[in-house]
Structure 1
């Protein structure tokens, strides 16, 4: 069964305002009955208190896994190979969770960190 209309018949149907349908009635906009009733917005709370909570920030240069036997043979001249290349960004961890990538800088004789990239988890990911 072929239900195709010639172009001129289709245009006539689209342009014809009288299709035999009753006129639309103006009504209130649709409201979903499952939507919760609007609530008053809670007053903004001062969260500056949380800015005073200390967190532990560490810089992880690299890591490796070696057998215990090999670790027991370590002395003051031993070299343990790590899993990062020289010059590669280092991991900044906050309370053990990866927070950023950084490089070490020296400022006024002290070591510091220059943040190169945030990991995307932000501080929300640290609450686990």
Structure 2
């Protein structure tokens, strides 16, 4: 069953047969699905994430020999003057300065100054 089809007969078959292809019409691009992206200014998504808030009173460097000689009546001098604002840190990054207050028998912090670094420092 070898039958030879000439080029002209082949073209006639293609032109007469409806293959459902539209050669001249451009293919319509499928619309991109809408992706829900959080607004960079909308931080409500992060509002329930827990963070570690600590109050750093002061610090100092002590030789290990001196630390080994400490007993229950020892006093370690710190590098901050009495009455100076204390450092409030969030996940280890400086967030604010504050003073300690007592409210209903519990300690609290009164924020006196924000660090101004914003949330960018907290992500490090």
Distance 1:74 1:91 in 2: 26
5 Å matches for 1:34-113? 45=39, 47-113=43-109
Distance 1:106 1:115 in 2: 13
Distance 1:58 1:108 in 2: 20
After TM superposition, give the deviation of residue 48 of structure 1 in Å: 2.1
After TM superposition, give the deviation of residue 125 of structure 1 in Å: 1.4
Distance 1:73 1:44 in 2: 55
Secondary structure at 1:69 match in 2:
helix
Q: What number of residue pairs does the alignment pair up? A: 87
Structure 1 gap ranges (5+) = 1-41
After TM superposition, give the deviation of residue 49 of structure 1 in Å: 2.5
Task: Work out which of the two has the higher radius of gyration on C-alpha atoms and give 1 or 2.
Answer: 2
The normalised TM-score by structure 2 is 0.66
User: Is 1:116–2:104 an aligned residue pair?
Assistant: no
Distance 1:43 1:55 in 2: 23
The normalised TM-score by structure 1 is 0.64
Distance 1:126 1:44 in 2: 19
Distance 2:95 2:67 in 1: 29
Distance 1:96 1:68 in 2: 24
> How large is the Cα RMSD of the aligned pairs?
1.7
Structure 2 gap ranges (5+) = 1-35
